[in-house]
């Protein structure tokens, strides 16, 4: 006789998904769906629910179905992320962000998978700055080698992640890692990389403008105009 699988986590994930889809469909606006997809330059379907409409849904998911353990956390994030509409993936990231106790090295692989699969700035920037960056900030010694390995990765979005993951670190920024991530990618012609370099430096300039001035001065002849302009915008 075959044993029945342990379906507890699967049941929770299914109910979580059903609730998310039901709530989104209830406030969906087909007239907004097309323009939202056009703005994001994506063929991924939208329900037509802007952030203001998604926020109460996300809060309800977090309040009603908090993860019981790390396996549950990963399964719930994945269950939402694997749904077809973009707003459902936004809910997945909101859910992932809500439980900071799970922003650990054990989940870094999950967050990086979402970067690769998301492969567009609206997903990647949130994952990089809030999830990957959160893990790095709290577990720097354990996580830095992994982030360092992304600096020259073949995947452009992983490189962008390595560059911008310290946006919120302020005085705790690892300037060595920031310098490597930017320097290795200075010659990259990709807009999203050049923009990321400028953004990361501009943000750190709020904490240590002299460091950024020095970095830019030493590399101004190899930096793109975009990176240079963004980096020095407030200097």
Residues 202 and 87 in one domain: no
pLDDT of residue 3: 40
| Residue whose C-alpha is closest to residue 108's, from 75, 71, 135, 73 | 135
The two tokens of residue 187 are: 């010659």
Residues 92 and 140 in one domain: no
The CATH number of whichever domain residue 177 belongs to comes to 1.25.10.90
Residues 6 and 117 in one domain: no
- How far apart (Å, rounded) are the C-alpha atoms in residues 127 and 6? 31
- What letter does residue 183 receive in the DSSP assignment? H
Residues 123 and 221 in one domain: yes
pLDDT of residue 99: 98
pLDDT one-digit tens code per residue, 94-151: 999 999 999 999 999 999 999 999 999 999 999 999 999 999 999 999 999 999 999 9
Give the end of a domain, one of 79, 102, 125.
Answer: 102
Residues 231 and 121 in one domain: yes
Residues 150 and 49 in one domain: no
Residue 70 belongs to domain spanning: 1-102
Give the end of a domain, one of 64, 83, 102.
Answer: 102
User: Structure pTM?
Assistant: 0.93
Residues 79 and 113 in one domain: no
The two tokens of residue 104 are: 């650990």
Place of tokens 């998604």: 54
- How far apart (Å, rounded) are the C-alpha atoms in residues 86 and 100? 23
- How far apart (Å, rounded) are the C-alpha atoms in residues 152 and 43? 29
Residues 6 and 16 in one domain: yes
Give the end of a domain, one of 66, 83, 102.
Answer: 102
- How far apart (Å, rounded) are the C-alpha atoms in residues 24 and 48? 9
Residues 63 and 113 in one domain: no
Number of domains in the chain: 2
pLDDT of residue 132: 98
Residues 185 and 224 in one domain: yes
């Amino acid at each position: 006789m075959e044993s029945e699988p342990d379906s507890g986590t699967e049941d929770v994930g299914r109910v979580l998904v059903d609730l998310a889809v039901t709530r989104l469909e209830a406030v969906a606006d087909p007239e907004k769906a097309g323009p939202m997809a056009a703005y994001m330059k994506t063929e991924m379907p939208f329900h037509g629910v802007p952030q203001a409409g998604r926020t109460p849904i996300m809060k309800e998911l977090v309040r009603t179905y908090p993860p019981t353990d790390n396996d549950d956390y990963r399964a719930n994030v994945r269950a939402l992320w694997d749904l077809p509409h973009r707003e459902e993936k936004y809910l997945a990231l909101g859910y992932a962000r809500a439980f900071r106790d799970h922003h650990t090295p054990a989940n870094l692989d999950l967050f990086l998978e979402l970067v690769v699969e998301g492969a567009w700035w609206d997903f990647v920037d949130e994952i990089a700055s809030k999830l990957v960056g959160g893990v790095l900030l709290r577990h720097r010694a354990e996580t830095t080698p992994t982030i360092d390995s992304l600096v020259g990765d073949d995947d452009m979005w992983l490189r962008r992640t390595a560059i911008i993951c310290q946006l919120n670190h302020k005085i705790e920024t690892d300037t060595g890692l920031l310098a490597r991530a930017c320097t290795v990618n200075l010659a990259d012609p990709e807009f999203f990389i050049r923009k990321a370099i400028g953004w990361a430096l501009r943000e750190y300039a709020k904490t240590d403008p002299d460091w950024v001035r020095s970095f830019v001065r030493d590399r101004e002849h190899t930096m793109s105009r975009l990176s240079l302009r963004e980096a020095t915008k407030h200097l």
